Structures are given as C-alpha cells and as structure tokens.
Amino acid sequence: MSRTRRQHSAEFKSKVALEALKEHKTLAQLTEQYALHANQISEWKKTLQEGSPILFERGKTRPETLDLEALRAPYLEQIGALQMELAFLKKKLKQLERL
C-alpha cells in the first residue's frame, strides 16, 4: 500500500523551524509532537538559518520571483534526450525480436 506524501505549508515549516531554533524542546520531542522525521526538522532549521540574513539586508533588492523557465530548461532538455534514447532502444529491440 502506498502512502501519499504530506505537503506542509510555509507557515507550518517556519513554526517548526523556529521551535527547533529556540531549543526549548529536544529534536526527539519535536518529532513526536509534529509527527515528522528528525532530518526534516533539521533541514527546515538549516534553511531558516541560511535564509534569515536576507531578511535584514537593507537597500539590496530581494529576488521577487524565480525564473521558472530557466530552472526547468535543463530538466526538459534531459527529458527530451531520454525520450530519444528510449525510442531508439525500442526500435532496436523490435529489430532484434525479428531475428
């Protein structure tokens, strides 16, 4: 039986990460309280720590939006190459089956 992946809101992630930063509770207590894996909480905490300096920068522009097309382009290119390879291999398999 497969489990569907849970998706958490940004508010929930920040709440858990802030509690982890405060260190009032142990990581084990937080995992039990929120039914999350310890690695997930640690990852959110690290993301919060690394991203927080951006909030306090003055006069510098923040990245408002991400260029999704620029992010997708390499993946789409790789998908296209894999599809071409798959089509080639299917063609060769049919040729081998005829022999």
pTM above 0.75, yes or no: no
Q: Report how far apart the first and last C-alpha atoms of the chain are (Å, whole number).
A: 41
Distance CA 49, CA 88 (A): 47
Where are the chain's structural domains?
10-57+73-98
CA torsion, points 52, 54, 58, 59, in degrees to nearest 10? Answer: -170
Q: Write down the pLDDT at residue 64.
A: 63
Q: Write down the pLDDT at residue 1.
A: 62
| Positions in the chain whose pLDDT score sits under 70 | 1, 59-66
Q: Write down the pLDDT at residue 86.
A: 97
